[in-house]
Amino acid sequence: MRGHFLTIGVIVLAVPMHVSMAGGQEKPEATPQPILCRGNYHSEEDAVKQLARMAATYSNLEEWRTRAAKIRKQILVGAGLDPLPERTPLKPVIHKRRSYEGYTVESAAFEARPGYFVYGNLYRPTGKKAPHPGVLCPHGHARGPKGGRLRPDQQHRCATLARMGAVVFSYDMIGFGDSEHLGWAHGHKQALTLQTWSSIRAIDFLQSLPDVDDDRIGVTGCSGGGTQTFLLTAVDDRVSVAVPVVMVSAHFFGGCHCESGMPIHKTAELETNNAEIAALAAPRPLLLVSVGGDWTKNTPKVEFPYIRNVYQLFDAEAKVENAHFPDEGHGYQLSKRQAMYPFMVKHLGLDPTGVLDSNTGVFDESKTVLETPETMRVFDQAHPIPKHALKPGSLVAF
């Protein structure tokens, strides 16, 4: 038996060859196809049944850890990240510092792979004692002049977390923000691979900063950023606290190829879904934020109980919570941010002095200065992108 290699996206599959009995000609056997669970892959009823099948595969902590390791491996293999690539030099660029009340903002970028830049903004506290917790803020798929990390809701949460003592990195998905401005498209075939690896390297970036506490790393994002939140937490145990917003669903697998366009959820050997992937956070603190107006409508009675049962195996049930807003829709609006802030304060050791109104329990965002896209850019005419940067659309070597 000989084999050729067939590349599908960034996944390499061995395609066996055999000799035909009739003519002695080599003919390829049927090519194995990746199993993709896209969007509403199955019904809400089927999701409940699937969770029951998954729960039947373990009954104690040791069995769960065995299953968790298999899920983690499947995510990395499916995403084209097994083995994990070499951690090449980040070559960070941090400049254009702006000072506001209680925090500063800098334009920042690093190389996740040689020549492939991750663009964003670095928010830092002023008047707080280092070392500080680090928080990653991936964004969702909202478009427009103020989409992605440029959105006011993203700027509000980054600035407010910084004012409470966190060093926050808000960064672009491929084809959004600076990435789009410089010519990259979100339809890039390596989107899921690049975004997952970029998030892993974003932790490296935060931990490379002298004012960041390596042992206190949080991540929170909404929608597509929620997917990045629970995927990163599942595969990287350096995440200390996770808050995925309006995304953890047992029946919805993500509507974009950057979430469900590679075989991370199902193979011939193992099936899983986003609720169980989120459970891989256990026993680390996890807050699920859900709403009645999207695919997270069942979280209080379907996804949250499943995940809580996993936490019970660790005797850590108190570390997982669900904030549900039955009358609200998709997004990271003020109400959801107000649910996230106290969770981050509690589990990352933030200092809410001057931000939290002790009488109302409301976290004040009024000190945020909303910046323009031009101000937030990393590379511009005054700060040109390095000449060795990959051309937009290039395939990135892993």
pTM for the model stands at: 0.92
Q: For residue 28, name the pLDDT band (cuts at 50, 70, 90).
A: low
- Mean pLDDT for 258-269 is 97
Checking if the pLDDT of 14 tops 60, the result is no
Whole-number Å distance between alpha carbons of 166 and 159: 9
- For the ranges 18-22, 146-150, 353-357, the maximum mean pLDDT occurs at 353-357
Q: For residue 146, name the pLDDT band (cuts at 50, 70, 90).
A: confident
Instruction: Tell me the chain's radius of gyration from C-alpha atoms.
Output: 22
Provide the pLDDT for residue 33: 86
- Mean pLDDT for 84-101 is 98
Domains of the chain: 1-33 (no CATH), 93-376 (3.40.50.1820)
- Mean pLDDT for 348-366 is 97
Provide the pLDDT for residue 17: 37
Checking if the pLDDT of 175 tops 90, the result is yes
Checking if the pLDDT of 49 tops 70, the result is yes
Neighbours of 384 (CB within 10 A): 9
Listing DSSP states for 305-349 in one string gives HHHHHHHHHTT-GGGEEEEEETT--SS--HHHHHHHHHHHHHHHT
Per-residue pLDDT reduced to its tens digit, 188-222: 999 999 999 999 999 999 999 999 999 999 999 99
Whether the ω angle into residue 283 lies within 30 degrees of 0, i.e. cis, is yes
Provide the pLDDT for residue 18: 39
Q: For residue 16, name the pLDDT band (cuts at 50, 70, 90).
A: very low
Q: What percent of the chain has pLDDT over 90?
A: 90
Whether the ω angle into residue 131 lies within 30 degrees of 0, i.e. cis, is yes
Provide the pLDDT for residue 237: 98
Q: For residue 147, name the pLDDT band (cuts at 50, 70, 90).
A: confident
